[in-house]
């Protein structure tokens, strides 16, 4: 391209230089000049035609070229080159070698296609079944008898276990009981915390499955919170006894003085944290890990609070409507293929359930982890709002489980994984133990409210171990991310259909 530009400049410069030479050569001789001047002029002219010193004359020509050639700007040269050349060495945009990564338009197209396809399915559902949304039916999911409220009563009883943990810590702080006795009391308290609600749910006939899930969910969260409460206070006593350092931090729930909309916090050290106000702040805070100090936001943002409240009310209504209108008819139509063991129809029912089930799961994630937890955090001025990370970019299964539920991940890492690693346990064994505990609680929250034990949730969680190994070993990048999404979209409908089928067979087929 540079040679083309030089050629163009040379062709443009030659006529101008030639014209200048002619004017200097055949110019008239001035009148009245002597013969020596005339002869000199002739010799000079003759010298230009047949120079006696070629090097000297070439120097003159070069000098005239340098003086009289036009100067072109880079813009002018580039315009000339563009007219002469229009191709460069480059890859196609969709090739991996091109390095192109802006697929925003394609993403928008996918969203539009997803909306249109689901709108067609929703319209088909309305034409086939009519409007099935019934808010009154939601109340019946939690209450069989309007005068019997077993689930809320069971939640109120949980205060007994909170008080037991607080007074055990107070006795331990003053040395009234030994560490061994305190560990035994905690063992009894936490074991009863898991066994008592499950026994109540299995015994009471007035307890509905939805009410049982709600009550056991509260008790499971409380179990993890009180376990963290025990560990942190034990660590504080160890520091105090060894006198390694002084633990002085901000109070986790101080008396707040308002000053121009900002909170002024006091400080506390162990055992000044063993108060009713402190433990109940921790019980209601959107975290599972206890601290003597929690990061606090300076004030409550009313506009932020109202937005989260609106999202909570809107999305819970949307979830209920989608379940009643979309999930329930699909599941009801899936019972006959499961009874007949028609595998092709079973697969078709599972794929049909996958789309609405996954959509509801995504809405639930936003409703719970973003709207609800941010609402509670803002109301309590809880500063740490990292309730999730970018799990949607997960390229491995382990990355997904480490980032989609940060409160549970922090608890497992702080109170289970790292303690057993410090005891010399192998890393792979420690990870398997974490999945084992998670599988137990998943099964606990499903089988006990349904009053049947099929271990589908337990096996689903344990199957994540070989899946995590396979994806981490053989799939990377976009392929790994696609594998994670497929496991989420397909895996959940399989478990849902298994439990619904078994529940239908036990409670309806036996009665008929």
> Among the listed ranges 209-218, 261-270, 384-393, which one has the minimum average pLDDT value?
261-270
Name residues whose C-beta falls within 8 Å of residue 48's C-beta, 6 or more positions apart in sequence.
Answer: 25, 57
b/e per residue, 224-245, with b = 16+ CB within 10 A?
A: bbbbbbbbbbbebbeebeeeee
pLDDT band for position 6 (50/70/90)?
Answer: very low
204-262 confidence digits (pLDDT tens): 888 888 889 999 999 999 999 999 999 999 999 888 887 644 444 444 444 444 433 34
Tokens found for residue 62: 């070069």
Radius of gyration of the chain (CA): 40
- 3-class SS at 289? coil
Annotated catalytic residues are: 442
Q: What pLDDT score does 494 carry?
A: 81
Residue 271, preceding peptide bond in cis (omega within 30° of 0):
yes
Which residue did the predictor score with more confidence, 4 or 284?
Answer: 284
262: helix, coil or strand? Answer: strand
Q: What pairs with residue 258 in β-bridges?
A: 263
Q: What is the pLDDT of residue 372?
A: 95
Please tell me the predicted confidence (pLDDT) of residue 69: 57
Rounded Cα gap, residues 499 and 364, in angstroms = 20
Is the pLDDT assigned to residue 18 strictly greater than 60?
A: no
Tens of pLDDT, residue by residue over 124-150, are 878 887 887 777 777 777 777 777 788
Within 8 A by CB and 6+ apart from 68, the residues are 13, 16, 17, 20
Residue 17 confidence (pLDDT): 41
Contact 300, 285 (CB under 8 A): no
Instruction: Count Cα atoms within 13 angstroms, Cβ side, for 7.
Output: 7
Q: What is the mean pLDDT of residues 440-462?
A: 89
Write out the two tokens for 161: 């276990």
Q: Per-residue pLDDT averaged across 27-41, rounded?
A: 41
Nearest-angstrom CA–CA distance, 50 and 43? 10
C-alpha span between 197 and 386 (Å, rounded): 30
Q: Percentage of residues in the chain with pLDDT exceeding 90?
A: 37
Sequence-ordered list of residues with C-beta below 8 angstroms from that of 59, at least 6 positions apart, any chain: none
Q: Please, what sign has the CA dihedral across residues 224, 226, 228, 234? A: negative
Q: Are 381 and 297 in contact (CB under 8 A)?
A: yes
- What digits encode the pLDDT tens for the residues 280-336? 999 999 999 999 989 999 999 999 999 999 999 999 988 888 888 888 888 877 777
CA distance 137 to 141: 7
Q: What is the per-residue pLDDT for 193?
A: 94
- pLDDT for 243 equals 62
pLDDT value of position 48: 42
CB 462 within 8 A of CB 474: no
Residues with Cβ within 8 Å of 289's Cβ and at least 6 positions away in sequence, in order, are 228, 407, 410, 411, 414, 415
The yes-or-no verdict on residue 357 having pLDDT over 90 is no
How far is Cα 14 from Cα 8, in angstroms, rounded to an integer?
Answer: 10
178 touches 241 (CB < 8 A) = no
Mean pLDDT throughout 182-204? Answer: 94
Q: Can you tell me the distance from the alpha carbon of 277 to that of 252, in angstroms, rounded to the nearest whole number?
A: 9
Could you give the angle at the alpha carbon of 405 between the alpha carbons of 401 and 410, nearest 5°? Answer: 90
* Pairwise CA distance, residues 29 & 42, whole Å: 9
SS3 249: strand
pLDDT tens figures, 43-59: 434 344 444 444 444 44
Phi, psi values for residue 263, rounded to 5°: -95, 140
Grade residue 509 by pLDDT with cuts at 50, 70 and 90: low
Rounded distance between C-alpha atoms, residue 236 and residue 460, angstroms: 38
Could you tell me if 309 and 430 are in contact, meaning their C-beta atoms sit under 8 angstroms apart? no
What are the residues facing 262 on neighbouring strands? Answer: 259
Better-scored residue on pLDDT, 430 or 329? 430
Residue tagged 């000049």 (tokens): 33
Average pLDDT, the chain: 79
């Amino acid at each position: 391209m540079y040679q083309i530009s030089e050629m163009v400049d040379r062709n443009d410069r030659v006529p101008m230089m030639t014209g200048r030479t002619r004017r200097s050569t055949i110019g008239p001789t001035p009148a009245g000049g002597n013969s020596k001047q005339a002869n000199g002029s002739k010799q000079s002219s003759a010298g230009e035609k047949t120079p006696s010193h070629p090097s000297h004359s070439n120097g003159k020509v070069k000098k005239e070229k340098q003086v009289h050639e036009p100067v072109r700007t880079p813009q002018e040269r580039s315009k000339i080159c563009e007219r002469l050349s229009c191709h460069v060495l480059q890859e196609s945009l969709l090739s991996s070698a091109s390095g192109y990564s802006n697929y925003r338009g394609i993403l928008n197209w996918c969203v539009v296609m997803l909306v249109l396809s689901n709108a067609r399915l929703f319209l088909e559902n309305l034409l086939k079944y009519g409007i099935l949304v019934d808010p009154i039916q939601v109340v019946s999911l939690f209450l069989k008898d309007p005068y019997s409220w077993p689930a809320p009563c069971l939640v109120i009883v949980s205060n007994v276990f909170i008080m037991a943990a607080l007074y055990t810590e107070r006795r331990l702080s003053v040395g009234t009981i030994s560490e061994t006795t305190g560990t035994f009391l905690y063992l009894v308290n936490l074991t009863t915390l898991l066994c008592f609600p499950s026994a109540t749910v299995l015994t009471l006939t007035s307890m509905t499955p939805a009410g049982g899930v709600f009550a056991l969910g509260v008790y499971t969260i409380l179990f993890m919170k009180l376990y963290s409460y025990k560990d942190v206070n034990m660590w504080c006593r160890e520091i105090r006894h060894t006198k390694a350092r002084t633990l002085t931090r901000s109070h986790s729930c101080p008396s707040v003085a308002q000053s121009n909309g900002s909170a002024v916090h006091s400080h506390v050290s162990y055992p000044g944290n063993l108060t009713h106000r402190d433990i109940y702040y921790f019980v209601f805070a959107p975290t599972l890990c206890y601290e003597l100090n929690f990061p606090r936001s300076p004030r409550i943002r009313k506009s932020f609070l109202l937005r989260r409240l609106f999202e909570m009310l809107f999305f819970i209504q949307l979830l209920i409507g989608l379940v009643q209108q979309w999930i329930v008819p699909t599941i009801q139509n899936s019972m006959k293929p499961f009874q007949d063991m028609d595998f092709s129809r079973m697969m078709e029912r599972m794929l049909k359930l996958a789309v609405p089930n996954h959509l509801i799961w995504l809405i639930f994630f936003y409703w719970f982890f973003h709207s609800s937890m941010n609402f509670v955090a803002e109301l309590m001025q809880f500063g740490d709002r990292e309730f999730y990370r970018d799990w949607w970019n997960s390229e491995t299964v382990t990355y997904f489980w480490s980032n989609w539920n940060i409160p549970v991940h922090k608890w497992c890492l702080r109170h289970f994984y790292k303690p057993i690693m410090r005891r010399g346990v192998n890393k792979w064994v420690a990870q398997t133990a974490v999945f084992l505990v998670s599988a137990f609680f998943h099964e606990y929250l499903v089988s006990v409210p349904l009053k049947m034990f099929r271990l589908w949730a337990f096996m689903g969680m344990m199957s994540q171990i070989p899946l995590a190994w396979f994806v981490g070993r053989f799939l990377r990048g976009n392929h790994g991310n696609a594998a994670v999404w497929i496991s989420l979209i397909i895996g959940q409908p399989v478990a849902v259909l298994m439990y619904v089928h078994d529940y239908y067979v036990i409670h309806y087929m036996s009665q008929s």
